[in-house]
Amino acid sequence: MALLNAAQLAEPTRRNFRRVLDADLTAFHAPSGELPGTLRYDGVVITGSWASVYWDREWIGRLKAWIGGAVEAGVPTLGVCYGHQLLADVLGGRVASMDGCELGYRTVEQDGENRLLDGLDETFTVFTSHSDRVVEAPPGATVFARNDYGIHGFRRDCVFGVQFHPEYDPEMAERVTRRKDDKLPDERIRSVLDGITPANYAAAREATRLFDNFTEYVLDASRRPE
C-alpha cells in the first residue's frame, strides 16, 4: 500500500500511520517531490498537511495528477484531513477556508451505512485540526459523517475521505495544538490542551478501526476478478 505523506515534517506523520495501519506501507513524501512511479498498489492513503489544496505549488499539482490517475484506475484510496480535501477537489468537489478552525477532541455523527466506519457508534469521538473544509462533496459522492463544522466523511466508489485525525496519539495532538499559538487565543489553546486527556484519547482510539475496515476493503478489492 502506498502512503502519500503530505506533511511538512515527514517522520512524525509516517510513524503515526505505521502505528495504526496494519499493512505493508511504502511511504512517499510528496512535498519533497516523492511520488510512486507506478499505480500498481493495492491501496493508497493520503495524509494530513500544513498546506491547502488550493495553493499554487508544484508538488500539490503533481500529487493531484497522480491521485487522479489512481482514482481513474480504480485503486482504493483513503484520504485523511488534507487527504480528504484533496480527494474532494480532484473528484470535483469544493474546498474552502473556514472562518477559524476546528481543533481538539470533538464528536462526529455517522449514518451507519458506510463500511469504513463499521463498528463505530452513531456518535463518536475524534481529534480534529483543520482550517479548511469540504464545503461541497464531489458529484456522485455519499456523505456519511458530519458535525456542526461540516462534512467529516464521504465516499465515491473506491474513494473514502475523513476530515478528522484517527492516527493522532496524545503527543501528536499536543504538538499540533501548540503550533497554533500564533493563530488562536491563549485561552483556546489552553482549553484544547486541557482536553488532551487519557479518557478522550481512549475514546478517540475507537476511530482507528476505520484503518482496519479500509485494509479489509482493499483486500476484498484485490480478490475480485478483473
The residues assigned a catalytic role are 81, 165, 167
Return the DSSP state at 56: -
By the 8 A CB rule, do 122 and 109 touch? Answer: yes
Helix then strand count (H, E) for the chain reads 7, 9
Helix (H) or strand (E) holding 173: helix 170-178
Residue 37 three-state SS: coil
Burial class (CB in 10 A: 0-12, 13-18, 19+), 77: buried
Instruction: Please say whether the dihedral angle defined by the alpha carbons of residues 209, 211, 215 and 217, taken in this order, is positive or negative.
Output: positive
Rounded Cα gap, residues 226 and 63, in angstroms: 27
Amino acid at 187: E
Give the residue among 121, 99, 113, 105 at the shortest CA–CA distance from 143.
Answer: 113
In DSSP notation, 136-149 reads EPPTT-EEEEEETT
User: For residue 159, what are the CA distances in angstroms to 73, 80, 199?
Assistant: 11, 11, 32
